[in-house]
Amino acid sequence: MKVVVIIGAGELGRQLRHMMAQSSLTSSHRFLGWLDDTRTKDEKVDGFPVLGGLNEIEKLDMNIYFALGIGYNHLSFKQKLVDRLVSEGRNLLTIIHDSALIDPSSIIEAGVVIYPGCIVDIGAKVEKGSLLNNGVIVSHGSSVGTASFLAPGVTVCGNVKVGERCFIGAGSIIKDGVHVTDEVRLGSGFNLFENIDKKGTYIQRVINRKL
């Protein structure tokens, strides 16, 4: 039985615990509690205790598995935490919902979270600490960089490269072969047809014409 601690007791962390409870992980994993710098030690969240802040990590057993309930507004912090945990030899928990379709040839690294209805196609790669929200498609030969966050309904077409610490807004489509550099944020519903080689926030204006 693997013992799990979730870092972050906000909405995302609570979603992760719910996913664990509703999936096949429930038979092989036991949830111990939360680590969260913004909450009080021994406070209860969904009936489970806050064990303290991140300074408690070093006090916990080396066999503990850590799940990362850190949202898209803190991706740089998330990557630093991933790097820290890996360098210290800690275990990162990978959570894949039972309804997700994951090709056996794909690579899913430690600490990845994959929500219901996602598809990860042949030869695709999802790097450490990244999150694929509901219904995301990562097509053949594509990669998603460390600590990136793909919002619900994103489609990553074939042979795409999404960099590290990227946020791709809900319903966005990235065309075949496009490369997106690190630290890019795309607004919801973005249709991306060309490479992005400069970090920043990109919002696509959509005009609805009445016929």
Q: Read off the tokens for 53.
A: 């802040």
Query: Dihedral (C-alpha) 132, 173, 160, 182: value to the nearest 10 degrees?
Result: -70
Residue 161: CB atoms within 10 A of its CB come to 18
Using CA atoms, how far residue 119 sits from 122, 152, 172, in Å, is 10, 12, 15
Query: 106-111, long-range: CB within 8 Å, 24+ apart, which pairs?
Result: 106/138, 109/146, 110/86, 111/66, 111/67, 111/68, 111/82, 111/85
Q: Tell me how far the alpha carbon of residue 47 is from its chain's centroid.
A: 24
For residue 206, give the nearest of 162, 159, 173 by alpha carbon: 173
Active site residues: 140
